Amino acid sequence: MQQNIVMLQRIQTVYLVLALLTSGVLPFFFPLWNESTYDTVAEVYFMENTIYTAGFGLSTALSLLSILSYNKRQQQFVMNRLNIILNLILLGLFVYRSLNLSGEAITVSEKGIGMFLPIVSIVFLVLANKAIKKDEDLVKSVDRLR
């Protein structure tokens, strides 16, 4: 039990929890974009599109699964890479959507903070992978000394 608590206190776990919060909690509070007509302004959240909901949901699930597999560093590293790819796809969808916003006539859309959440998540995942790689190198160096 003591070893499990120590394993969960590693720095990569902190980064993974921050990535989990970025992809799992913050999209509920930050809109992806704002659509305004002549008299109303509507905030569009990720839940209004199934692709965005699936992307954020998969990213959250991969982060949680990666946190829970703290004993298997290689598996954790691969899951983080998959999560980075998923967030890049999500970011690409947001960029595609924002490039198609400019030609609207009746409604005017403004980008929201929620569109940048995959970037923040990618940063945390890269930092977690660096820490995992550092741990893996430390374990390999200790094995060489034996």
| More reliable by pLDDT, 120 or 101 | 120
Per-residue pLDDT band for 101 (boundaries 50, 70, 90) equals low
Would you say residue 145 lies in a domain?
no
Q: What is the pLDDT of residue 86?
A: 95
Would you say residue 144 lies in a domain?
no
Domain that holds residue 130: 2-135
| More reliable by pLDDT, 93 or 107 | 93
Would you say residue 16 lies in a domain?
yes
Residue 44 phi, psi dihedral angles, 5° rounding: -105, 120
Q: How many domains, the chain? A: 1
Would you say residue 104 lies in a domain?
yes
Would you say residue 99 lies in a domain?
yes
Would you say residue 54 lies in a domain?
yes
**Which pLDDT tens digit goes with each residue over 46-75?**
888 889 899 999 999 999 999 998 888 889
Q: How far is CA 90 from CA 3, 53, 82, 86, 133, in A?
A: 36, 10, 12, 6, 25
